[in-house]
Structure formats: structure tokens, C-alpha cells
Amino acid sequence: MKQIMIVDDSATSRMFIKRCLEVVFADQDEIKFYEAGDGKEALGKLKANPTDIVIIDLNMPVMDGATLLRWLKGSPKLTYLPVIVITSVDNPAKRDELMELGAFAVLSKPIAPAKIMPVINQIFNLQSDDFGF
């Protein structure tokens, strides 16, 4: 079973990301989703729930995505987690900064199954033919 944490202050965005991932993982492993509305809430949930991937929005209240990414990559227990940043900020300098902080990938909104599938493929070493695309 794949366990994925989605961190976004918009419930609609979280739902849309879940739907995209359900398409990507159709006929594959079972998926369990954890959700958080900001980085601080995500940290609490990550301590209690084993997770394979963290998908975070960049702009959130309380603790933004960049701060959460810094915290995760600075934590000996969580530094191994692949983090995908999804953002509406399409800025090459910001993208480079997030990658230097340890993001596995930075994807621009709007997200779509075809956009996130290659990243998930890399993380789990899945064959793209398995997804029917």
C-alpha cells in the first residue's frame, strides 16, 4: 500500500490532487491518503502516520511549503521522504531554490495525471506502460 500526505490549504486542491493520483495508480497498489491544511498540521500527522510521499503546496498559512520542506529535509527521521511541491508560482529561480532545499520535483498548477505520473514513476520505479498512458 502506498501512503501519501497531501498538504494544501485548499480542500478543493487536495481533492483534485487525490483524484489525479487515483488515476495514476488505477489498477496498481492501494493508496491511503493523509491530508493537512498547512505545514504545522502536516508535521503532527507525519509523526503519527508512515508516509511514502509528501505533496505540498507552496503558499499556505501558518507554515508555508518552503518552511515545511526545510523542516522535513532537516529532520533525521523524515529527510528520506520524497517531497513534491505543487505551486502556482512559475518562477525558475524559486523552482531552483526548492530543488536545492531538497524537493524531489516542483510542478506547476494546474496539476494533471499526465504531469504527475512521470514523477510518481521515478519515485516508485513503476513502468509507465503499467498506467495505460
In this structure, what CATH number is given to the domain that contains residue 60? 3.40.50.2300
Residue 110: predicted pLDDT: 86
Say if residues 4 and 33 touch (Cβ distance below 8 Å): yes
For residues 86 and 110, what is the distance between their CA atoms, to the nearest angstrom? 9
Handedness of CA 26, 32, 37, 40 (dihedral sign): negative
Q: Domain residues for 86?
A: 2-128
Q: Is residue 133 part of a domain?
A: no
For residues 10 and 58, what is the distance between their CA atoms, to the nearest angstrom? 12
Residue 23: predicted pLDDT: 87
Q: Grid coordinates representing 62?
A: 501558518
Residue 13 CB: number of other CB atoms within 10 A?
17
Residue 42: predicted pLDDT: 95
pTM check: above 0.95 = no
Residue 129: predicted pLDDT: 43
Q: Is residue 42 part of a domain?
A: yes
Residue 132: predicted pLDDT: 42
Tell me how many domains the chain contains. 1
> What b/e sequence results for 24-61 when a residue is b if at least 16 CB atoms lie within 10 Å of its CB, and e otherwise?
bbeeeeeeebbbbbbbbbbbeebeeeebbbbbbbbebe
Q: What is the pLDDT along the chain (133 residues), one digit of tens a residue?
A: 889 999 999 999 999 999 999 888 877 768 899 999 999 999 999 988 889 999 999 988 888 899 999 999 999 988 999 999 998 877 889 899 999 999 999 999 888 888 998 998 899 875 444 444 3
Strand 2-7 vs strand 31-36: parallel, antiparallel, or unpaired? Answer: parallel
Residue 80 CB: number of other CB atoms within 10 A?
9
Residue 102: predicted pLDDT: 95
Residue 8: predicted pLDDT: 95
Residue 53: predicted pLDDT: 94
